[in-house]
Amino acid sequence: MILVTGGAGFIGANFVLDWLAHGDEPVLNLDKLTYAGNLHNLDSLKDDARHVFVQGDIGDRALLDRLLAEHQPRAIVNFAAESHVDRSIHGPEDFIQTNVVGTFRLLEAARHYWNALPAAKKEAFRFLHVSTDEVYGTLAPFDPAFTEDNKVEPNSPYSASKAASDHLVRAWHHTYGLPVLTTNCSNNYGSLHFPEKLIPLMIVNALAGKSLPVYGDGMQVRDWLYVRDHCSAIRRVLEAGVVGQTYNVGGWNEKPNIEIVHTICTLLDELRPRADGKKYAEQITHVKDRPGHDRRYAIDARKIERELGWRPAETFESGIRKTVQWYLDNPDWVANVQSGAYREWVARQYEGEKEGAQA
């Protein structure tokens, strides 16, 4: 069995589904079920004995100790995190509690559990920490892409909290010998993505006839990684990654935000034309940029390809078409996640303050 934390969120749920689609090893899934954690993401596993769900917080040390002792996982894959930059600007404390304090308590629980394992199980155990390219800061237009050796220079409360968690994971390896692995991924997109991030927000707003708010000139550049490709990379790192190493995971798809929005509009024009015959691009609005907005991220993913033989399977063109089609095919999922709390957040962030959307 493996323990997956944050396994009801966007990337975590996709990973759980992907893991069980590729094998029969059970998953113990621990998720706090905050606004972005959604058990409906895992509806297909309701009667699957391989999936054991527990609602709880990685900051709850007593719960962690009990779960580890009871289920004896051979690995921990840590997705649990607060992840939205805009939310971190408005309320950074939750990010410190979950991403820093929570990771610390999870590491401590893992360390004490690992120390007590028999020699063979101790040797095989892994703690895989899932992080972000945002810890590296921002790049100028012609700078080389981030490698694993780049200096960490976070610029938002979110990225600072993730950088801190990365440092804790590294320190627990070097100080205590805990067998850790870290992945730093670029911007994920795909099914089950909570509609506050750029791509799902654009799709949902377009279909609802709302404005498509783009920060500033929309020329912020990101590397885009299809979520199922990210899942396959994590499986590969867990299987063959070198203990103590960091692996950058990217999609080789650097694109400015405004191009992403236009691509979504073009696909919707094809797949779900507006009733009035107009183009979805007419709904695009440029709004005030957010504070400390990083201009460019780009991931150099050659290390994971060279050492572990992993490359993304999807192009951006194939992945974004699958993503748009998924949202068109799953309106009930979209309606369910748009709870009162979500609508309140969107009203405050995008209507009250007239700011835009960013992944």
Catalytic residues: 133-134, 158
Tokens standing for residue 136 = 């590296």
309 phi-psi bin (left φ>0, alpha ψ -120 to 50, beta other): left
- Residue 298 one-letter amino acid: A
How far is residue 131's CA from residue 165's CA, in Å, rounded to a whole number?
8
Secondary-structure breakdown of the chain: helix, strand, coil percentages, each rounded to the nearest 5: 50, 15, 35
Q: Where are the alpha helices (DSSP H) in 177-248?
A: 198-207, 227-240
Coil, strand or helix at 107: helix
Residue with tokens 């690995």: 75
How far is residue 125's CA from residue 302's CA, in Å, rounded to a whole number?
26
What does DSSP assign to residue 41?
G
How far is residue 108's CA from residue 76's CA, in Å, rounded to a whole number?
12
How far is residue 75's CA from residue 179's CA, in Å, rounded to a whole number?
10
Q: Which helix (H) or strand (E) holds 126?
A: strand 126-132
255 phi-psi bin (left φ>0, alpha ψ -120 to 50, beta other): beta
Whole-angstrom CA distances from 190 to 38, 76, 78, 303, 326 are 15, 24, 20, 24, 8
Provide the Cα torsion 146, 152, 154, 157; round to 10°: 130
What does DSSP assign to residue 348?
I
How far is residue 29's CA from residue 12's CA, in Å, rounded to a whole number?
9
